[in-house]
Every structure is written in structure tokens, then in C-alpha cells.
A and B are shown apart, each in its own frame.
Chain A
């Protein structure tokens, strides 16, 4: 859910005082400014490993465009997110498809992320937060779903840097208390006053050996992106 916010938005934080303020500061590290960059997505399975290279454009809010550039067989595939809507461009068909609810269970490029994860919502909207531990180095939040929140998880734990509130780890638990997914952020880089994670690892904790790694490179923050980047036309031709 949240890691794609990182994937599609590049951002900066604030100064928190309570649990919700901390959460907001962590979330603000995932959004805020416009940006573009390259993501190398590695999908690891017990018997194979596939690497994708993608270019990403984000307006820092709720719009993002992702175009696959490698490997050659997948190059040209593109994904556009505008609000809660998701479109996929299939170059072989030369067609743009809007993902129906039934298609959102499909895995994103065979990774450990589904399309429904891509249409992630504001965590603050769906969860109540409390600080479970805080030392000089890290702060740990526990997020409990609000009644009626559209999340199948029982709780989340969020670990962030105590100083910059840069995210370090998100762990998703099912409603029986078992950890089912872990997202780890590392290799932070300074973006203005903030620390941005350039390496994200998603692990399926129920299936050993199932892991997806996203590494950011060639990133540029604060660049003004044209509106045309977030249109269906940009799915096919890109946003250069």
C-alpha cells in the first residue's frame, strides 16, 4: 500500500509531537514534491530472479506515471495512477486498459505488489496510531485500522528514524496477529533537509524466498512536470 506511494512520490518531512504527527511526518516523506527518477525492480522467487527498469514521474500528490524500459520484452508497458484510478498500457496490444476491481488482485509485474497496493490510500485516513517505543535512534508506531477502513490487515508497525522520521520498516500483520508482509527502507539519501530511502524491499513473510526490491537512481526532485505527464496519452509515449 504505502511503498508505492514511495514509488510514485518523492518527498519531505515535518516535526512531529504525537503519534499522528509522527505518522504524518513519515507519510510526508512519501509525498510533497514533484520528481522523476529511475527504479530498478528486482523480483526474486525461490527458483528465479527478474529485473525490470522503470522511469517514474510523480506530482507528489496522487498522480504518478511508470514506464517500463527494460527488459526488452516488457519495455513500453506503462501504468498511470490518477487518484484512485489505474490504467495500464499494453504495447503489444497497443491498447490502454482501465483496471477493473477484479484486475486489481493481479500482481504488478509479477512482483509481491498487487495493483490494489498501487491504489493505496492515506494511512492516516484508515488507521489510528500510537507510539509503542521511542529511543534516541528510532521511533515505532502501531497502527490499528479504524472501523470500516478498507484494509484487510489487523495492524501495522512502522519504524522510522527518530530524528528525520524517514521510514525504516513497515510490517503488516493479519487479523490473527501473524506478520504477513514486511517493507524495509534503506540507503537513504539527503534531499534538502530530509532523508529519502532509495532502496525498498518488500518481503512476503508467508512464502519464504518471495521478495521484491526497488532501487531508485537518477532521481531529480522539485522539477516541474507538465500536466501532460498524467494523461492517457503519456502512457503510450511517455513524459520526456
Chain B
């Protein structure tokens, strides 16, 4: 306790230096917390976009279709759907039929993946029907809804007809469908590629019935529920959560998290090195003073402990301030969509990434633990360098130093 009081007093004897050190550590803690909160928020945004905009919270399909999304690998029968509808974890069910097609206007054409949907049921599993920027959502066969970017590229307007060509089971098929609505979700993956038609039209064009069953489940529970529902499904059919549907993008996301660890460690090491170097300078400056304290009876080992405590106190104060600043910032960014606007161009540049214009930071207590690495490293450095110097100090010699 005496040593702690001594260390506390020493810390505040050089107020300006201490404040500087506290700021360095606080910045490190703040950066760590902000970084993880942002990274987790970004990941959550991608998963949300995949679950609610691009794919589905949970998608049930054949494993063959999951590996090769061709209507030939469509679901052979839908008898399992009743069991899913009765499951309390499933909030809504919608049938889908997706197929590759060519969409044509009078001026140009483009390859797309067309999604045939039941207009009423689809609204239960996807937010796309509620993001119609112009016109309206599908109501009946013969209609078409496009992402606004896709519609602009092929130059087709609401009320005009576009042609969908595809390879049906019995040969090429085509239909002229009237564009009734434009989707604007803020997600490039949807706005630039979405082509939605009535399930009846999709069936008439392809000759297939249903390629997948989309399920709505509780937010944040998508992947766990997908895994839990698998025992209810017949052989050859499986349920997939958003992470599994992301495919290669999932590996990128996980890679980003692992790649972040060295960066965060570097932050911590730089901050701890700043604390340590200042401690070393402080010890050198106080050599005579420390020699006197040692001469009056405080053993060098205990004196070394005082130096370590000084580093820990400084780091702890910085850590607490960093936590306050970091969590405070995350609290704001968890409510206000600051990041989404900032990363809008990122979504456009990496259009394969399902990302909306809404990115909210995530707050998690474990970030405080990550940020405490700075304090631990600072303490370790203090033991290794300035404390070691103090332990080796000869009091008589130290008192003679100018």
C-alpha cells in the first residue's frame, strides 16, 4: 500500500508528462475499441444485407442447388415445408424460383439472375418489397420489378415492357413483362442486379417449381437457426444461414478479423513503448532521488516495484479514459448511421459484397479486454526495462549522479 501511495505521488509530481502518457494510452484503447466496434458493425451489416436484402435469413434448398444454382437442381418436393411452418423458430415462409436469364429492352440487354417470388409471402422474409423507390411491388403475373441500377443500364422505365429470355426445361422461353417498380435499397448487390418476377411467370419460363424456400427467423439467430432446422429436412436438402450463403465473402470477412489482430497489437505495443520510454527517462532523471530513497532503507527490489506501479497507474488511467471515449463513440455510432454514408462508395467499388448504406457500430464488453492489452504490455515493458535498471542501481553511486 505504501508503495502504491508512493507511486501515485510520483505520477502526479510530473503532471504534464503523465497527462501526455495518459493520452497516448487512452488513444490506443480508444482506437482498439473503435476498430473492433466498427469491424463487427461492418460484418453485421454485411450479414444483415445478405439475410434481409440479397438472400434470406435462412434459405432451404437442395445441397446440389447450393453448390450449383441451376433450376435443374430445384427442390424435388415441398412436403417438408409444413414442418417448417409449424416450427416456432420460423416466423415466415416464402417459395422462390431463381434462374439465369437475359433481360432485354429495345436498346440493350443484360444477363441477370431472375428471382420468381410469391409477392405476398416474399414481404415476410425480405425487406426488398418495402424498398420500392418508384412504382409498386409485384401484385400479379406479367409484372417485373428491377433494381434501379439495372433498370437504368438497360434503359427501361416503369410502365414499359422488358423481355426475359431463359433456357427452360423444354427449350428457350421468353416473356414480355411490364416493369411495375424500381428497388432502391442502398445495397449495390440488390440495386444493380435485382430482377423479380411473379412465381407463376418463373415457373412458366423455366418449367421448374421451386429452387429454394426462404425463412424469416429472429435477427442475430439466422445461422444458429439454420443449423438447428437441418434435422427437420429430408436427405439432400439443407438449410443455410447468411454466413454460409456468403461463400467466399465469408472467408474474406473472417480473414479481415484475423488480419486486424496484428494491427491492434501494434497499436498496443506503440502505446506501451511510449509509456516505457517515458518511464526510463523519468528513472534516469530521478537517479539521485531514487538513490537517496534506497539509501534510507527502501530495498532496490521494492523501489523497482514503485516504478512498475507508476507505469501501471498511468496506463490504467489512460485505459479507463480510452474506454469511456471508445464506448461513448460507439454508442453514438450504434444509433446514428455515420459509417454507412462514409462507406457508400466502398459498396459500389466492391459490388460483390452485400452492403447497404446503413452501417451501425456494434458494442461489446470484450472490447475492453482487447484494449487492456496496452496496459499489460506497458507493465511488462516496465518490469523488463526501467524496473530492472532500478534493481541494479547502487545507492551510493546513484546519489553522486548529477
Residues of A within 8 A of B (CB): 83-85, 100-102, 104-105, 114, 116, 119, 121, 145, 147-154, 172-176, 180, 206
Contacts and interface: CB of A to CB of B under 8 A. Distances in A.
B167 A101 contact: yes
By secondary structure, the B interface counts as strand
Interface in B160-189: 160-167, 171-177
B163 A150 contact: yes
B101 interface: yes
By secondary structure, the A interface counts as loop
B296 to A, nearest CB: 88
Given A85-B172, A101-B100, A151 B163 contact: yes
Interface string B255-282: 0000000000000000000000000000
B104 A116 contact: yes
Contacts of B160: 175-176
A180 B106 CA distance: 8
Most buried by B among A121, A145, A149, A172: A149
B165 A152 contact: no
A85 B173 CA distance: 10
B285 interface: no
Closest 8 CB pairs of A and B: A150-B174, A102-B111, A105-B109, A174-B106, A84-B172, A101-B102, A152-B106, A175-B160
A114 to B, nearest CB: 7
A150 B175 contact: yes
A180 B163 contact: no
Contacts of A85: 171-172
A153 B106 contact: yes
A104 B102 contact: yes
Interface in B324-351: none
A154 B156 CA distance: 12
A145 B111 contact: no
A182 B171 CA distance: 29
A102 B100 contact: yes
B105 interface: yes
Contacts of B100: 100-102
Nearest to B105: A152
Nearest to A150: B174
Contacts of B165: 101, 104, 116, 150
Given A101-B167, A174-B107, A206-B107, A152 B162 contact: yes
Most buried by B among A83, A116, A152: A152
Interface of B: 100-102, 104-111, 142, 156, 160-167, 171-177
B314 to A, nearest CB: 64
Contacts of B110: 105
Most buried by A among B101, B109, B172, B173: B172
A101 B101 contact: yes
22 contacts: A84-B171, A84-B173, A85-B171, A101-B101, A101-B111, A101-B165, A101-B172, A102-B102, A104-B109, A105-B109, A105-B111, A114-B109, A145-B176, A147-B142, A148-B175, A150-B163, A150-B176, A151-B176, A153-B106, A172-B106, A175-B161, A206-B107
B100 to A, nearest CB: 6
Contacts of A175: 106, 160-161
Contact of B176 (A83, A100, A148, A180): A148
A30 B84 CA distance: 55
Given A116-B165, A151-B163, A105 B107 contact: no
B176 A105 contact: no
A145 B161 contact: yes
B102 A149 contact: no
A152 B142 contact: no
A149 B167 CA distance: 17
A114 B163 CA distance: 14
A105 B102 contact: yes
A145 B162 CA distance: 12
Contacts of B142: 147-148
Contacts of A83: 171
B162 to A, nearest CB: 6
B106 A105 contact: no
Nearest to A180: B106
Given A84-B173, A105-B109, A150-B176, 17 more contacts: A83-B171, A84-B172, A85-B171, A101-B102, A102-B101, A102-B102, A102-B111, A104-B109, A104-B165, A116-B102, A119-B172, A148-B175, A148-B177, A149-B176, A150-B163, A150-B165, A174-B106
Most buried by B among A100, A101, A105, A175: A101
A85 B171 CA distance: 7
A180 B108 contact: no
Contacts of B101: 101-102
Contacts of B109: 104-105, 114, 116
A84 B142 CA distance: 22
A150 B174 CA distance: 6
Contacts of B167: 100-101
Contact of B166 (A101, A114, A119): A101
Contacts of B156: 152
Nearest to A153: B106
Nearest to A106: B109
Contacts of B106: 152-154, 172-175, 180
